[in-house]
Chain A
Amino acid sequence: MAELLANIHGLWEVVRFPLGAFMCLAGSLLCLVGTVGVLRFPDIYTRLHAASITDTSGAALVLIGMMLLSPGWLVISKLFAICVFLFLTSPTASHALANAAHTAGIQPVIGRVGSSDAEGEDA
């Protein structure tokens, strides 16, 4: 039994660095996708949706990847605190942006938006 546990532990030590690196890479890719969305979408409200990919899955994947790469529990607890605060504050910031735009009277683009008419459109 102890030998099995030691085996699992050894395997985990080998696996966790590539896994963590892969998750960091995937998270960075998702951040890139979110940026592409921010540049492509027509108005502020839709751009916020694209930015929320960066907020949630991108940041979460990078943080989990860093947790796998981290040397000890202390770093993991700090990364976990970052994760918690990020998940509490980023929707609040998004809401503040959307609410400010709404209060300023910016009308959102409503209805189907195709690629042909989205290019010249300005909210």
Chain B
Amino acid sequence: MAYFLGLVLALAAFWLGMSGHNTPLILSLGGISVLATSILAYRLDIIDREGSPYVRLVGFLLYFPWLAKEIVKANLTVIRACVKADLDIAPALVKVKTICKSDLAKVTFANSITLTPGTVTVEIEGDKLLVHGLYEQDSQPEAFVEMDLRSARAIDGKGAAA
């Protein structure tokens, strides 16, 4: 039920942000479309933890500023590598083990790695991620421990990261 309510609220907010019209006719049409979408999603049976992850929104909002800081830091490194007069990179493939339990947390972790310039998740097998890094010294498995811990805490909740 909480997932269903979360989906309805998110759809309504999205519709209001997109439309901006406040006449009763348009509003009721918007309400009907939100309702129809919710019923279709219910019939497709996709309203679960993954289809409506708004319950974990607070954890994710706390996680994002840290991720943004990491993205800015990594951006500076890669920009320097791009514009340096002589090309000086040391690419490496690393295997990273994750403590994330659910698929959603694993996706968050892998997407965070890919979103950070200089590292790309190439493959996920079980709890092991194959990561390609632009600099060998920056992409050792230890470098991802904090990101792993934080994404596990943001999505799986406090208990999972213990």
B-binding residues in A (CB < 8 A)? 30, 33-34, 36-37, 40-43, 45-46, 48-50, 52-53, 55-57, 74, 77-78, 80-81, 87-88, 90-92, 94-95, 98-99, 101-102, 108-115, 118
Contacts and interface: CB of A to CB of B under 8 A. Distances in A.
Contacts of A111: 90-92, 136
Most buried by B among A88, A99, A101: A99
Interface stretch (B35-43, B74-82, B148-156): B74-82
Interface residues of B, number: 38
B99 interface: no
Contacts of A46: 89, 91, 134
Interchain residue pairs A-B with the least CB separation, the first 3? A37-B82, A77-B17, A91-B114
6 contacts: A33-B83, A52-B117, A56-B71, A90-B115, A99-B123, A113-B88
Contacts of B89: 41, 46, 112-113
B8 interface: no
A109 B132 CA distance: 10
Given A36-B83, A102-B130, A52 B120 contact: yes
Contact of B122 (A40, A52, A102): A102
B111 interface: yes
Nearest to B107: A92
A87 B132 contact: no
A46 B89 CA distance: 9
A56 B20 contact: no
